Amino acid sequence: MTGSTRYPHVFAPLDLGFTRLKNRILMGSMHTGLEEAADGFPRMAEYFAERARGGVGMIITGGIAPNTEAGSGGKLSTPAEAEQHKLITAAVHAADPEVKICMQILHTGALAGTAACVAPSAVKSRIGRFTPNALDEDGIEKQLADFANCAALARAAGYDGVEIIGSAGYLLSTFLVEKTNLRTDQWGGSWENRMRFPVEVVRRVRAAVGEDFILIFRIAAMDMLDGGLAWDEVVSLGQAVEAAGANIISTHFCWHEAPVPTIATMVPRAAFTQVTGQLRKVLTVPVITSNRINMPAVAEAVLARGDADLVSMARPMLADPELVNKALQGREDEINTCIACNQACLDHTFGGRQQVSCLVNPRACNETLLSYPALGAGQPAKRIAVVGAGPAGLAFATVAAQRGHAVTLFDAAAEIGGQFNLARRIPGKEEFNETLRYYRRMIDLHGIALRLNTRADAGVLQAEGFDEVVVATGITPRQPDIAGINHPKVMPYIDAILGRKPVGRRVAILGAGGIGFDVAELVSHQGVSAALDVEVFAREWGIDFKNHPRGGVTGVLPQVAKSDRQVFLMQRKADALGKSLGRTTGWSHRMTLNRRGVVMVAGVDYLKIDDAGLHTLVNGEPRLFEVDSVIVCAGQTPLRALYDELQAAGIKAHLVGGAFEAAELDAKRAIDQACRLAAVV
Ligand code: FAD
Ligand code: NAP
Ligand code: SF4
C-alpha cells in the first residue's frame, strides 16, 4: 500500500485560497542556535532545504525577533537583515517550489535575556533573568510597528508567511493573563482589554503583508497556569485573531514556566490534540495541532478524528528529515523516530550556549559539516568488524554500511540494543523501542551481517581477516567497595531492571544519576505507564482535558499513586539529587518520585550491608536503613579489554561509546562519536 492510501488525511492537500499546502505535515518552529551563529545563514539554508526535500508541506523557522528588546536570537528589522534571509527562502524553494516556508516572529517579552526587556507590567517571570520594563503607550505603539515592519521584511525576503507566537509566556501571552498584566488602561483589566494587544498585532501584520500571505497565530489552547486562561477566553481570542486576519491558528500548550510536562518522553503521544479538536469546532480557519506526534500513523489518526487540519512535527524533523517521504513511499519502518528525550535539542537551547542537534541524528543542524558520502572511485570498501550492538555500534555500523563498507556486527547478547534494552523497560521510556526498530531495519536494509550470541575476541577477529575493528563493547557497572557488597540482598541495576532477582518492599538505591532515577521510577511504579495512557497522565499531572478549568489545571490536584514500596534514593554528594538530569526534564522526574513518596538522601557514607540493612553515616550521623534490597547504580567503567588485545595483535582498531569513555557517557555522545568515525573511516 502506498503512503497516500495508508495516510489519506496526511497526504490531502490544503487549499488556502491564494496558495496550497501539498500535505498536512509541517515542521514546527524550533530555535536551533543557528539563528545567531556567525555561519548561521548558509547552515540554516541547507538544514531547511534538506527538510523540504524530505517531503514536508510547510516549514516554520526558529523564532526571529522584531527588535532588539524582543530577545537575543536572530533579528529581522532592517532590509540588510532581510537580504540574509533570502539565502534560506531561495534554498527551500529551489529544493521544492511546492514547499512553503514561514518565519516565526518571536517577541520573548519578559523572557528576553536583556535588561531592556519589555512587558505589559513589571512582573518578573519565575524563569526570566530580568524584571521587564512596563511598556508605556508609546512603547506599545513601537512594538506594534516593529511587528508589522518585521512581517513586511519577511515577505520581502521571500517567505510565504509568518507565524506570530501568542503563547508560552512570551510578550503577547503576558498581555492575556491577569497575573502578568496589571494594567488599568485600554491594554489591561477586562478580558477585551487584555486581548487587545495580540489582536492588534495580527491586524497590523495583516495590513503590512497584504491578503495573499500566510499568517499563522499560535495560541495557548491550554496554558497550564494556575489562574491561566479560561476556555471561553481561549475561544474568544481565537475568533478575534481570525477576524483580525490570521488564516491559520496553531495550538500550543503550556507556558515554559508551568510545572507540567507537555513534550517529554513521559507524555503520551498526541495527548493534547483533543484540546485542538475542541477549538477547531468553533473556528473557521484551519487549525494546527502539535506535541508528541512523532510518527505518520499518529498524525493520520489525529487528522482522521478531526482534531486538526494540520499536524506540526518539530523535533521529529530533527530526528529524520525524510520522515514525510518515507511515509509517502511506504518506508515508515525506516523512520528514525524522535524519542522525545530533549537531550540534544531543548536541553541545549535552554542550557545556554550549546547549539541544537539530535541524539538519534547528529547531522541535525550540522548538515554542512557532517555528511556520510558514499564511497567513490578509488575508495575500496573495507571489511569492518563492529563489536557491540549498543547505540554506538549500531550507529557506526549503519553509517559505515550505508556508505558502502562491508560490515559485520557482533554482540554477545541475544538481541541488539545494549543498554537501550534496559532503558526501554523503564516506564515512560517506551519510545526507546523505536530506535531499536529503526536499527533492526537498517541492519537489513544495508546488508549488515549480524552475529548475535557471539562474544568476539581478538583471535576470532584476526582469523576472519577484518581490515579494521570498531570496539563498541560498552561498559561494566561499577561495584563499589562497601563491606557486605556480596550480600544476597544486593544487586546491580541490570538484575533489577531485567527482573533477574526479586526486589523487596523496602529498597535502597545507591547512586542517583540517570540510572538511579530510572531504577527509582521502575521500582516505585504501579499500574499502566502514564506515557501509554492519556487518562493516567492527566490524573498524575492534575490536568482536566474535558472540563477545561482556567489554564486546564486550576483546582485539579495531581493524583499520583503512592508506591507500595519504601524507596530510598541515595548519593554521597551533599548536593540536591538529580542535578545531572536533563535541564528540561529533570524537574519532572524529581516531582514524580517525590509525589510517590520516594525519599531522597544526600551526603551518605555507605558503611556496611548486612541482614539488618544498609548502615550509613548521613551527613556524619549514623543511620541504619532497614531495607530488603540494595540496588547498585554507582556508575560504570569502560569495557575495553578487547581493544587492548587487538592493539597487542597489531590489528587496526577504534574505540567508541562507553568502551572509549564511561564517565558521563550517554547515548547522545555514543551515537555522535560513532557517526563521526563512520563518516571518515
Ligand atoms: P552499550 O549500550 O553498553 O552496548 C555495548 C554492547 O556490547 C552490549 O550489547 C554488549 O552485549 C556488547 N558486548 C560487549 N562485549 C562484547 C564482546 N566481546 N563481543 C560481543 N559483544 C560484546 N542514555 C541516554 O542518552 N538517555 C537516556 O535516557 C538513557 N537512559 C538509560 C537508562 C538505563 C536504564 C540505562 C541502563 C542506560 C541509559 N542510558 C541513557 C545510557 C545509554 O544507554 C548508554 O550511554 C549507551 O547504551 C552506551 O552505548 P554503547 O554502545 O557505548 O554501549
Ligand atoms: P552517573 O550519572 O555518573 O551516576 C552515577 C551515580 O553513582 C552518582 O549518583 C554517583 O553519586 C554514584 N557513584 C559514583 N561512584 C560511586 C561509588 N564508587 N560508590 C557509590 N556511588 C558512586 O551514571 P549512571 O546513573 O550510571 O548513568 C550512566 C549514564 O547514562 C549517565 O551519564 C547518564 O547521562 C545516562 N543516562 C541518562 C538518562 C537520562 O534520562 N538522560 C537516564 C539514564 C542514564 P555520588 O558519587 O554522589 O554517590
Ligand atoms: Fe527528539 Fe531527542 Fe532528537 Fe530532540 S534529541 S529531536 S527529543 S530524539
Residue ID of nearest Cα to ligand 2 atom 22: 634
Provide the grid cell at 535.
Answer: 487518562
Question: To test ligand 1's pocket by mutation, which of 646, 666, 669, 672 has the most ligand atoms within 8 angstroms of CB?
Answer: 666
Pairwise CA distance, residues 9 & 566, whole Å? 49
Does the structure show a pLDDT above 90 at 97?
A: yes
Phi-psi region for residue 169, left (φ > 0), alpha (ψ -120 to 50) or beta? Answer: left
Pairwise CA distance, residues 74 & 64, whole Å? 5
Does the structure show a pLDDT above 70 at 626?
A: yes
Which percentage of the chain shows pLDDT scores above 70? 99
Q: Which atom of ligand 2 is nearest to the CA of 512?
A: 9
Question: Does the Cβ of 471 fall within 6 Å of ligand 1?
Answer: no
Q: Which of 7, 47, 170, 438 is catalytic?
A: 170
170 is annotated as an active-site residue: yes
Question: Does the Cβ of 659 fall within 6 Å of ligand 3?
Answer: no
Q: Which of 343, 341, 344, 369 is nearest to 355 (CA)?
A: 344
182-234 pLDDT, tens digit each: 999 999 999 999 999 999 999 999 999 999 999 999 999 999 999 999 999 99
Q: Which of 198, 31, 227 is nearest to 112 (CA)?
A: 31
Of the listed ligands, the closest to the CA of 340 is 3
Provide the grid cell at 7.
Answer: 495516510
Q: Which atom of ligand 2 is nearest to the CA of 634?
A: 7
Of the listed ligands, the closest to the CA of 429 is 1
> Cα dihedral sign for 300, 306, 310, 312?
negative
Of the listed ligands, the closest to the CA of 265 is 3
Residue ID of nearest Cα to ligand 2 atom 16: 634
Mean pLDDT of 550-559: 94
| Separation of CA 241 from chain center | 29
Question: Does the Cβ of 3 fall within 6 Å of ligand 1?
Answer: no
Provide the grid cell at 648.
Answer: 597487542
CA of 352 relative to ligand 1 center, distance in Å: 28
CA of 472 relative to ligand 1 center, distance in Å: 9
Pairwise CA distance, residues 347 & 342, whole Å? 6
Question: To test ligand 3's pocket by mutation, which of 269, 312, 338 has the most ligand atoms within 8 angstroms of CB?
Answer: 338
107-139 pLDDT, tens digit each: 999 999 899 999 999 999 988 999 999 999 999
Q: What is the pLDDT of residue 562?
A: 84
Q: What is the pLDDT of residue 461?
A: 95
Mean pLDDT of 325-332: 97
367-412 pLDDT, tens digit each: 999 999 999 988 999 999 999 999 999 999 999 999 999 999 999 9
Residue ID of nearest Cα to ligand 3 atom 8: 338
CA of 545 relative to ligand 1 center, distance in Å: 38
CA of 538 relative to ligand 2 center, distance in Å: 30
Percent helix, strand, coil in the chain, to 5, is 35, 15, 45
Question: Does the Cβ of 345 fall within 6 Å of ligand 3?
Answer: yes
Pairwise CA distance, residues 441 & 457, whole Å? 27
Residue 611: CB atoms within 10 A of its CB come to 8
347-377 pLDDT, tens digit each: 998 887 689 999 999 999 999 999 999 999 8
Residue ID of nearest Cα to ligand 3 atom 1: 338
For the stretch 272-276, contacts whose Cβ atoms lie closer than 8 Å and that sit 24 or more positions apart, written own/partner, are 272/221, 272/222, 272/545, 273/302, 273/307, 273/308, 274/307, 274/534, 274/545, 275/221, 275/222, 275/251, 275/545, 275/548, 275/552, 276/221, 276/251, 276/307, 276/308
Question: Does the Cβ of 388 fall within 6 Å of ligand 1?
Answer: yes
Pairwise CA distance, residues 667 & 472, whole Å? 12
Q: Collapse the DSSP code of 643 into the 3-class scheme (helix H, G, I; strand E, B; otherwise coil) and give the result.
A: helix
Does the structure show a pLDDT above 80 at 4?
A: no
30-75 pLDDT, tens digit each: 999 999 899 999 999 999 999 999 999 999 999 999 999 998 789 9
SS (H, E, C) 383-442: EEEEECCCHHHHHHHHHHHHHCCEEEEECCCCCCCCCHHHHCCCCCCCCHHHHHHHHHHH
Average pLDDT over the chain reads: 96
Question: Does the Cβ of 318 fall within 6 Å of ligand 3?
Answer: yes
DSSP 568-586: EEE-SSSSPTTTTS-TTTH
Does the structure show a pLDDT above 90 at 664?
A: no
Q: Which of 427, 434, 423, 391 is nearest to 409 (CA)?
A: 391
Q: Collapse the DSSP code of 9 into the 3-class scheme (helix H, G, I; strand E, B; otherwise coil) and give the result.
A: coil
Q: What is the pLDDT of residue 353?
A: 65
479-493 pLDDT, tens digit each: 999 999 999 999 999
Q: How many helices (H) and strands (E) does the chain have?
A: 23, 27
Question: Does the Cβ of 283 fall within 6 Å of ligand 3?
Answer: no
CA of 633 relative to ligand 2 center, distance in Å: 7
Question: Does the Cβ of 630 fall within 6 Å of ligand 3?
Answer: no
Write out residues with Cβ below 6 Å of ligand 2: 343, 478, 480, 510-516, 518, 571-573, 580, 582, 633-636, 664-666
Question: Does the Cβ of 340 fall within 6 Å of ligand 3?
Answer: yes
Of the listed ligands, the closest to the CA of 419 is 1
CA of 70 relative to ligand 3 center, distance in Å: 27
Q: Which atom of ligand 3 is nearest to the CA of 345?
A: 4
pTM of the predicted protein model: 0.97
Of the listed ligands, the closest to the CA of 267 is 3
CA of 391 relative to ligand 1 center, distance in Å: 6
Pairwise CA distance, residues 440 & 310, whole Å? 31
Question: Does the Cβ of 400 fall within 6 Å of ligand 1?
Answer: no
CA of 27 relative to ligand 3 center, distance in Å: 14
CA of 569 relative to ligand 3 center, distance in Å: 28
Q: What is the pLDDT of residue 2?
A: 66
